[in-house]
Structure 1
Amino acid sequence: MLDKRKINLLLFFFLFALVGVGYMILNPFINHPKFYQDSLMIVNSSRDISIGAGSYKTTSFLLAPITDSLDLIGANIYSYGQRYDLGFFFTNGVYMILFLIPMMYIWMKKMPKLNVINVFCFLVMFGLYSAFYGVPNKDFIPFVFSFISLLFYFKGFKKTSILLLVVLMSYYAALGRFYYALFAVCLILHLTIKRKSVLFILYGIGIALCYVMFNTSVFQYIYLARPSNNIDITNTWIDYPLNDHVFSGFILNRVLELVRLFFPVELLIKSVNYIPFVVFQLVTTVVTFKVLRNKKDYNPLEVVSALVVLTFTISQAIFEPDFGSYFRHKISIFPFIYILIRSHEYNFKFLRKKSPEKKKAKKGIRIFRKRIVW
């Protein structure tokens, strides 16, 4: 049964979705002319789901039912983005609906507490991000995996839901998007190991293994993730300050990139157009570390969501060549980002949220003082 509050929040969701529709329509006329190049490559790639097939072939295979259906009704899907006709916008609308329906379900299951910061974040998530989720894209598949994981969590299968997420992401990594394997491993480590000292030791062992394998073919996959031809179609390329082909430079560059992804303030120098994405990322970063710092003050799902954001960003820092790719790939974990920020009370003082016991104690002191005065 929907009460007045739930109806109002549902109307807010549709309002955010409507903003997304508007931006999806405007985007072809205001963005980079090669913005839809990735989507065109996906729909025209040969279809393959064998191990190591690659991200484009795998995505083309998994999205085949959607692609074939659009082709059947005459949406000119195989010339997607070449001209902005009715078929182009219809295709975008289909992908928007396929994204918004799962998000609406999560919205209804875990309704937000609206405040100024949350409203801004939702406008970015559902509005500006429509340029990324409202097109044929590689991140739709892991987004579905994240949604399925939360479905199991909502049904009470909490441990199973996390295990399912790890298994699905690992399988997807084996098909060609290798950094999801790193994401899955890091997530398992952070979920199962409670002592920070043990985590640091394990990360140290990981760095030692990197040193051993540094000159092997394994590392070529990391360098292949930074194709130099991407420089021509992105304005947010991440330049490394150190020689990336020396082990010490490689490690330090990745540590610096992790910090830069969490706090992408340098984008403000490039263009004011990045302000919404930078603010959204900063809010996500602050809330993530705040939850991880005060785990006992938050419910288990919020802690899991914070760990998903942390470990996903770690994996992106190893592989991603530019800020734009990282921002776009975050669609994969949008269900968890929503859970993380949906009802957060923003008190940025010392990045701490006071426990209920401390609040009660402080309230008691205030009442005691009032009694003395009167």
Structure 2
Amino acid sequence: MSKRNTMPGLRLKGDIWHIEKRCKHAEGGWLRESTGTASRIEAEEYLIQRLANVRQETERRSLAIYTFEEAALRYLEDIAHKSSAVAAAIHLDQMLPFIGHLPLEQIHDGTLKLFIDNEAKRDLAPKSINNALVVITAILNRAARVWRHDDGRPWLRQAPPKITRLSTKGRQAKAYPLSWAEQDTLFKILPRHLADAALYAVHTGCRELEVCMLRWDWEIFVQDLGVSVFVLPETITKNGTERIVILNSVSGSVIEARRGIDPHYVFTYRGRPMKRLHSSGWRHAWKKAGLPTHAGVLKGVHNLRHTFGRRLRAAGVPLETRKALLGHANGDITTHYSAAEIDELLTATEKVVSRGIAQTPTLSLVHKNAQMRNVGKVSEENKKGHPKAAF
């Protein structure tokens, strides 16, 4: 059999057709690659498509037409020094499969619909989706007003379109602090990697990003107390300042159990740092645990932070101490603590280990009221559905 195909540029090597064709648009003037197929017809179709793609890419470059993915990478380079960089990278990682390949001129409400629908399907709140849309708006604005091609043309040669944000009116979900029984049920159902991270979160009050990105080189050993703390950099905290994380006996045991699994990150999944805790595994476990799924109730991992804060309050921990433990900005440099002050914080956070605080009126009343509202709602529906039973 001839090693050459009837179509110029294809050569059979073994059982697979390979491209060897001069192409002025390809790097070095040659296009050399495998078609990955033993079928001559499929190889010819592949070659035709590749030549078209290479030509289109060259034309796009010559016209200085940039894709959203190129702009996204440029944006991350620009804001690498800011605290918002990590959160922006997580948003972009989620949206690039939907719009990354599109030229900047094609980014608008219509092309964003698939991404928005996917985020809503993941049960993300409108506010969270809007945070991602803010990143898109920032990229388009920079492409139109800041970034320039070699010849001075802007990356986006038209006024950036207005990206419509989702309405949050009347849709602000209320937090749902967990009781100890609910926590036990939920954590038993969660996959191991999520259960470890959730147990750490509910005993430290850390936000989702602060848990997922937690690194071993942020751990500091306090010699005077014989304990470790974590100092989070401003790049991952919400308020853009450093935050100290105090470990009580439970969160400390989680850290020790994770030690040695990965050299860089504390919480990993399949050898990589976790991108999010509010995953399909979390949603499945939340529902299976019988926790509320109706509209208006927060169903995500941020409830763990609310649970921590509520338990601190129920245990009688003062407001200023609660703020320090939750990393609230209060104008102070929150990582400059003496050993005595860290010991005071440690004593406070150890109070939430006791399960006795679950029976305080504060927590019990919240759950009782929620249950009564649900019962009342069902009763009203039953009355409407069964007129004869109404009084």
Which TM-score band (shorter chain)?
A: under 0.3
Which of the two has greater helix per residue? 1
Larger Rg: 2
Which of the two has greater strand per residue? 2
TM-score (structure 1 length as normaliser): 0.25
Q: Give the structure, 1 or 2, with the largest relative contact order (CA under 8 Å, sep 6 or more).
A: 1
